[in-house]
Each structure stands twice: as C-alpha cells, then as structure tokens.
Structure 1
C-alpha cells in the first residue's frame, strides 16, 4: 500500500484507540516506526490530529473529522440530522439549543438555535469551554470509556465560579450519576449567569459523537432542578442518535 494509504490507515487507527503513540501505531499497522512517524506528522500538518495535552508523545483526533462528516450530505450530516430536534426543543422550551463536540480538554459548540425569549445569552458557534464545567461536556465525558477520561480532564480542575467542581473524585461521582440519569446539568459552573442541561448523542456505546443541550440565563433555571427539561433533552438526543445509527 502506498504512503497515502498508510496515512489513511493511521487516521483510522488513531480514531479507534486515541491517544496513540508512534510505537503502538507501528505495531498496529505492521510498519516501521519511521513510517508511522511520517504518517502521524502528515496527519498533524493537515489538521487531522494533534498532540495529546495530557500525554504529549501521543496523538488524538481534532474536530476536523466532524467537519468532513458534516459535508457528507443532507442525510448523513450530524447538524442536518440534529436540526429538527433542536428546533423542536426551542419551540417547546423557548430556550437556546446547542450541539457540541469534545476537542481535547474543551467542548466546542458546532451549531445553535437561538432562544425565542427576549432576555438571552449569546454563545456563538465555535465557542469553547472546559468540558468538566459545562453540561455539554459532562454529558460527553460521562459516556467515554474510563481509559479515555484523563485525556479530557485537566489536573488540577480550575474553578471558574464558586459552583465549579474542583475535586476529581466529586466529578467522577457526578459523571456516574449522569450515566444513570441520562442527562447532565450545569448550574453556574462555567459562568455564574448561565445554566444548561444536556444529553449525549452516542450511536455506539463508549463512542460519544456530540451532545445536545438547552442553555438559559440562570434566573430561568427551573425550581424542580431541571428534571422535566432533562427528559426533553434526553428524548431529543435519543432521536438524533437513532437517526445516526440508521445512516
């Protein structure tokens, strides 16, 4: 197989077992370490992978993979599949709806439907936030295999507000509760004026693709702790998941 084929196989290998180092890639593809190193550098130069923040000698995917997926066509694009459920959530709740993905330690907003309320918070496409301090990010973290969590959780955990979780043990307990409950909640953890509720889009177990959330000024956060809204978001995320699984 030529060098282009090797690079593509390397991309597939990193996607299946990130973070991945040179030696592991060479063994998996049955190629020399120099060939593995060249393939990784070629992928890095073109923006497909980047060095792990937690393990600098190893490599992980970037969100460029998702950008390509979203250009596969109207039936296959994640944003196209998610848009009807997002619009319906906004219609029912009046609150903004976001679609987000993990990128290293951050969660990145890749689509938004704005709130119909007069008072709203602007959170544009491309905005980043630490995954552990957002509902979007916690929904994704909760659905990752334990072996990959360290790649997306910094040490130490920075406090952005007085409500931010800064103890790793407490964060892991919350992630377990999110898995049990089916949705995550963020109440003034990244910004003191913002609350959100999110659920994961995960067509294959342990391989979360994105998360769906509703996003509101903290004054409009429901008194019941978001249980009813959580069920709405979880149902909407499940519809998108089913759509992806059926592609």
Structure 2
C-alpha cells in the first residue's frame, strides 16, 4: 500500500490503470490498494476526474509530526510570529485540499478587534488570498483540479468569471503575493504569498488576515512585500531540510 501511496504522490491524479502499470500489478490489486488508501484517509477522488485519485492533507499532517525540524508548522512559526509583530494582524498557514484551502496553523492578531478563523477552517481556494497564492503557482496541468465549474459567488466581490480569475492568477505570479477583500466573507480581507521549497511545487501559503476596514488604503503593497518576504524565508528553510 505504501508503494501505491508513493505512486499517487508522484503523478496525481492517479487512476487504476496507471497505478497497475506503474507497480506492475493487476488492475484488481491496484483498485484494492486505492480503496484501502481512501478508507484510511490518505487519498480521495479527484473533483474533476472522479475515476482518479489525489492526496489529502493527511500526508502533511503526518509530516508535521515527524519532528520539530521537519514539521512545516514548526519551521514556519518564527516567520509567522515575526509577521504578526510587524503588522499586528493574524498570520495563517494554509494548504490546498481539492477545491478548498485549509488553515493548518494560526498566530493571533495583536489588535483588539480581530477576526476568528480557527485551524481546520476551509474556504474555496479561488475566493481566498491563501488559495489564490497557491493556485497562481501550480503547474498549469494541475490547476483545473482545484477550480470548480461554475465559480460560486459568496459575496458581491467574489470572482465568478474564469477568465478574470486566470488574469488575477497571472498578476499574482508577477507581483509575488495575492489579495482578497471581502470575496469569501464581506467583513474579511487578507494578503498571502506562496511557500514552495521546490519551484513549481507549491507546498503551502502564508497570509495576514484582518477586518476589511483595516485593509490599507494604498492597496496593501507594503504589507504584501512583508508577507512575501516571510513566505520566502519559510521556503528557504524547507529547501534546506
């Protein structure tokens, strides 16, 4: 079963026939391996290709338990604390899981008025800064797995046109950070940057998260640079593991 998990990780989304060829096993054996991995929470069916399978965030959760120096959360925590000290806003660490982005760690804001966004909270990736930072840095071949069709409007400012979303993702790649103002919830704004220890393989994203009335009038360029610098520090640290 471990060989099957490694195969899915190397070429997701993975189907029964491809797994059978890669491992040189029968299709029934490949199907049993995939179902066993799904039952234990390691993989799930692809949103866009139901006959194929992709990893879940359980892989990352286990990786974070391997030791302080190996855990993403442990490694990211100093940069998150520094970011909160510099901005006063909450810092969130998130990962992609299918169509959603999932918060896996948080350092709370030092401000009196703050937004509570607990660990484990999910949101559609295309409507969040964390999610858009990750989508913008995915290989083109994987992008469709994480974008629903159609795009649902959660607020009046949610992007609902796929062409507009692609334009924004291109701008995020150019700029180095993403922004959302009231796209998932009308009272929340955030700025995020991608963490990727290996080019074209985004692992997570780092954001600052604030009530929308505290979003800076200048468009958040200074905050965006701070978030991007913090994410880059985490990426360098991960690359050195």
- Shared fold (TM-score, shorter chain, > 0.5): yes
| Number of the residue aligned with 1:25 | 19
Residues 75-154 of structure 1: pairs in structure 2 closer than 5 A: 75-154=69-148
Q: Quick one: distance in 1 between partners of 2:86 and 2:101?
A: 25
| Number of the residue aligned with 1:244 | 238
Listed as ranges, the gaps of 5+ residues in structure 1 are 1-6
* CA deviation map 1:125-156 (0-9, x unaligned): 00000000000000000111111111100000
Secondary structure of 1:97's counterpart equals strand
Listed as ranges, the gaps of 5+ residues in structure 2 are none
User: How many residues of Structure 1 are paired with residues of Structure 2 in the alignment?
Assistant: 241
| Number of the residue aligned with 2:203 | 209
Q: CA deviation at 1:34?
A: 1.2
Length-normalised TM-score, structure 2: 0.99
Secondary structure of 2:231's counterpart equals helix
| Number of the residue aligned with 1:192 | 186
| Corresponding position: 1:53 with 2:31 | no
| Number of the residue aligned with 2:59 | 65
| Number of the residue aligned with 1:163 | 157
Q: Quick one: distance in 1 between partners of 2:155 and 2:125?
A: 14
Q: Quick one: distance in 1 between partners of 2:3 and 2:225?
A: 40
Q: Quick one: distance in 2 between partners of 1:157 and 1:92?
A: 35
Q: CA deviation at 1:47?
A: 0.6
Secondary structure of 1:112's counterpart equals strand
